[in-house]
């Protein structure tokens, strides 16, 4: 690598007019001086393209909406930089994010990619669900400092030469494209995640959207983590996977209350309590930093997310065990609903 390589900041976008301005401005405020900014738009129908152009950055457009992988690939194909820094259009980078990423890649020539993490505060804290999701992912991501088996595609940097070697993102995938790319990258290189490269993310603002995303990503990802015989960490850490099973067992026990009476209610409470203890750091952060009222609200949402993950993982694992060839085929060509 050159001492101060040109970095191409690639921002895939689809209808993120509400956040693209903050994302681009954050990229423009970087302390690293040698940057080009490319917004790769996936046929947006809102004002995001006009906002990006108004900020003076390069805007490329996909003719027909094709998914985030197509947008990322388009940006990479036109990038002039020796380093590619991919950041989603709903993430505002810290001012030193690019500088720190370049330093990691320079210090470790064999590194495949360096991934950053979200801050505990969302870009726009205008809903309870956004505040919940920001804290949840902050606590989970900050447990990971070093080598990871996957990729955090919302916020990562890699050498362009490495990207060309590994190949493009699989544009047939809509929910698991980062898992697929992470598996391919890890087969040849080490991928690291560090808490010093950060950004503020505008998380999903409604329960429906968030739970749908959790369900689909977990269901489609579970068979692949089972096949690799490893967990990705964070939500997929061993104690949290076990905790999600206890929540599911608690719900099943609650459903049997008609037959078993108070004993079923006691069992449901005990199983749920064990789940909370297994993920106590996440709950404790919410209570400690935001008070009892928010902590109780956080607890209810987190239990719903944990239950959704358990159901989705169970379905995904069953699909992987009973229909392995079908699962692999669906994984290769799955489309967003």
- 3-state SS, the chain, equals CCCCCCEEEEEEECCCHHHHHHHHHHHHCCCCCCEEEEEEECCCCCCHHHHHHHCCCEEEECCCCCCHHHHHHHHHHHCCCCEEEEECCCEEECCCHHHHHHHHHHHCCCEEEEEEEECCCCCCCCCHHHHHHHHHHHHHHCCCCEEECCCCCCEEEEEHHHHHHHCCCCCCCCCCHHHHHHHHHHCCCEEEEEEEEEEEECCCCCHHHHHHHHHHHHHHHHHHHHHHCCCCECCECHHHHHHHHHHHHHHHHHHCHHHHCHHHHHHHHHHHHHHHHHCHHHHHHHHHHHHHHHHHHHHHHHHHHHHHHHHHHHHHHHHHHHCHHHHHHHHHHCCCC
What percent of the chain lies above the pLDDT cut of 70?
A: 91
Of 181, 203, 225, which residue constitutes the final position of a domain? Answer: 203
Residue 170 near residue 180 (C-beta atoms within 8 A) = yes
Which 8-state DSSP code applies to residue 205?
Answer: -
Residue with tokens 């080009």: 36
Mean pLDDT of 42-68: 96
pLDDT at residue 256, as a whole number? 83
Could you tell me if 235 and 171 lie in one domain? no
In a domain, 219, yes or no: yes
Could you tell me if 80 and 144 lie in one domain? yes
pLDDT at residue 232, as a whole number? 54
Could you tell me if 194 and 314 lie in one domain? no
Query: Which of 7-16, 167-176, 236-245, 328-337 ranks highest by mean pLDDT?
Result: 7-16
Could you tell me if 161 and 279 lie in one domain? no
Residue 36 near residue 80 (C-beta atoms within 8 A) = yes
Could you tell me if 112 and 219 lie in one domain? no
In a domain, 1, yes or no: no
Mean pLDDT of 59-83: 96
**Spatial separation of the C-alpha atoms in residues 31 and 24, rounded to whole Å:** 14
In a domain, 97, yes or no: yes
In a domain, 30, yes or no: yes
What percent of the chain lies above the pLDDT cut of 90?
A: 73
Could you tell me if 84 and 158 lie in one domain? yes
Mean pLDDT, the chain, integer: 90
Could you tell me if 12 and 161 lie in one domain? yes
What is the CATH classification number for the domain harbouring 28?
Answer: 3.90.550.10
In a domain, 2, yes or no: no
Token pair, residue 117, equals 């993490």
In the chain, the DSSP E strands lie at: 7-13, 35-41, 58-61, 83-87, 91-93, 111-118, 146-148, 155-159, 190-201
Could you tell me if 197 and 240 lie in one domain? no
Could you tell me if 52 and 195 lie in one domain? yes
pLDDT at residue 335, as a whole number? 40
**Spatial separation of the C-alpha atoms in residues 183 and 150, rounded to whole Å:** 6
Of 160, 183, 203, which residue constitutes the final position of a domain? Answer: 203
Tens digits of per-residue pLDDT, 295-327? 999 999 999 999 999 999 889 888 877 876 554
Tens digits of per-residue pLDDT, 30-39? 999 999 999 9
Q: CA 171: distance to chain centroid?
A: 17
Of 168, 186, 203, which residue constitutes the final position of a domain? Answer: 203
Q: Tell me which of 236 and 180 has the higher pLDDT.
A: 180
In a domain, 297, yes or no: yes
Q: Is the dihedral of CA 40, 43, 46, 49 positive or negative?
A: positive
**Spatial separation of the C-alpha atoms in residues 28 and 236, rounded to whole Å:** 34
Could you tell me if 191 and 306 lie in one domain? no
In a domain, 157, yes or no: yes
Tens digits of per-residue pLDDT, 272-297? 999 999 999 999 999 999 999 999 99
Residue 92 near residue 20 (C-beta atoms within 8 A) = no
In a domain, 192, yes or no: yes
For 144, the domain range is 7-203
pLDDT at residue 26, as a whole number? 98
Burial class of 2 by CB neighbour count within 10 A (0 to 12, 13 to 18, 19+): exposed
Mean pLDDT of 5-24: 97
Could you tell me if 304 and 161 lie in one domain? no
Could you tell me if 212 and 180 lie in one domain? no
Number of domains in the chain: 2
């Amino acid at each position: 690598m050159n001492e101060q390589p040109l970095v191409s900041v690639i921002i895939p976008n689809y209808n993120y007019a509400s956040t693209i301005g903050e994302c681009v401005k954050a990229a423009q405020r970087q302390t690293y001086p040698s940057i080009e900014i490319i917004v790769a738009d996936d046929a947006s129908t809102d004002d995001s393209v006009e906002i990006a152009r108004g900020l003076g950055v390069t805007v490329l457009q996909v003719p027909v909406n094709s998914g985030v992988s197509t947008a990322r690939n388009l940006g990479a194909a036109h990038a002039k930089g020796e380093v590619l820094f991919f950041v989603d259009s709903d993430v505002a980078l810290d001012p030193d994010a690019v500088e720190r990423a370049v330093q990691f890649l320079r210090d470790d020539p064999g590194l495949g990619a360096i991934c950053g993490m979200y801050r505990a505060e969302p870009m726009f804290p205008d809903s309870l669900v956004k505040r919940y999701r920001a804290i949840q992912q902050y606590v989970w991501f900050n447990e990971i400092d070093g080598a990871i088996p996957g990729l955090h595609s919302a916020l990562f940097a890699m050498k362009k030469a490495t990207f060309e070697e590994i190949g493009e993102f699989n544009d047939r995938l809509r929910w698991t494209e980062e898992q697929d790319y992470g598996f391919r990258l890890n087969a040849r290189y080490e991928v690291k995640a560090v808490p010093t490269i950060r950004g503020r993310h505008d998380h999903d603002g409604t329960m429906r959207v968030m739970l749908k995303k959790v369900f689909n990503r977990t269901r489609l990802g579970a068979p692949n983590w089972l096949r690799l015989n490893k967990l990705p960490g964070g939500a997929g850490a061993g104690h949290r996977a076990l905790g999600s099973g206890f929540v599911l067992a608690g719900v099943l026990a609650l459903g049997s209350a008609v037959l078993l009476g108070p004993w079923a209610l006691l069992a449901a409470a005990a199983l749920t309590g064990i789940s909370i203890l297994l993920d106590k750091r996440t709950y404790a952060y919410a209570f400690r930093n935001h008070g009892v009222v928010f902590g109780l609200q956080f607890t209810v949402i987190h239990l719903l997310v944990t239950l959704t993950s358990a159901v989705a993982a169970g379905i995904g694992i069953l699909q992987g065990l009973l229909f392995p060839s079908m699962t692999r085929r669906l994984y290769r060509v799955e489309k967003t609903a």
